[in-house]
């Protein structure tokens, strides 16, 4: 009896997850605009989707470069490669100014995975202390 109940619960869970994924809006990246500002000595990148704020990427000065202070990407925009795309934008923008981006010393698993992906795309290099630096 318990196995039957567990199977029903799992079947329901899987059905709901599939439904959530199907209902998740596909983002048209051409509608993403990124504004920048300096707030409290932080260099802030503010992504907007069709006028709606998507989160914030805050960088702090680090030597003559920048280090990630905080990144926020609202849930509805997660899981679609958008965070990685914004990091790419930031890395390229900083490179035009002769600056590098360093990862934060402590990272969530999601953030760590984004940096690993940037390494695979030759946009970042791992450092000895489980952190990363942009390589452009």
Q: Domain residue spans in the chain? A: 31-134
Q: Which residues contact 56 (CB under 8 A, 6 or more apart)?
A: 44, 45, 46, 47, 70, 71, 72
- Three-class SS of residue 113? helix
How many CB atoms neighbour CB 40 within 10 A? 7
CA distance 121 to 134: 11
In this structure, how many other beta carbons lie within 10 angstroms of the beta carbon of residue 87? Answer: 24
> Which pLDDT tens digit goes with each residue over 15-69?
555 555 545 567 787 889 999 999 999 999 999 999 999 999 999 999 999 999 9
Residue 116 tokens read as: 């690993």
Class of domain 31-134 (CATH, top level): alpha beta
Give the integer Cα–Cα distance in Å for 86 and 34: 8
Helix pair 109-120, 82-96: axis angle to 10 deg? 60
In this structure, the strands spanning 101-102 and 42-49 are unpaired
Tell me the whole-structure pTM to 2 decimals: 0.79
**Residue 108: what are its φ and ψ, rounded to 5°?**
-70, 165
Secondary structure of residue 67 in the 3-state scheme: strand
For residue 103, what pLDDT band results from cuts at 50, 70 and 90?
Answer: very high
Least confident of 1-15, 55-69, 76-90: 1-15
**Could you give the percent of the chain with pLDDT greater than 90?**
63
């Amino acid at each position: 009896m318990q196995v039957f109940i567990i199977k029903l619960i799992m079947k329901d869970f899987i059905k709901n997850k599939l439904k959530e994924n199907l209902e998740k809006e596909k983002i048209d990246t051409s509608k993403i605009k990124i504004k920048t500002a300096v707030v409290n000595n932080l260099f802030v990148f503010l992504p907007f989707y069709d006028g709606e704020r998507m989160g914030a990427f805050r960088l702090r000065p680090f030597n003559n470069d920048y280090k990630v202070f905080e990144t926020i990407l609202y849930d509805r925009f997660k899981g679609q490669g958008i965070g990685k795309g914004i990091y790419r934008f930031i890395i390229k923008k900083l490179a035009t100014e002769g600056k590098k981006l360093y990862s934060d010393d402590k990272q969530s698993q999601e953030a760590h995975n984004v940096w690993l992906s940037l390494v695979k795309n030759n946009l970042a290099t791992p450092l000895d202390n489980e952190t990363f630096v942009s390589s452009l």
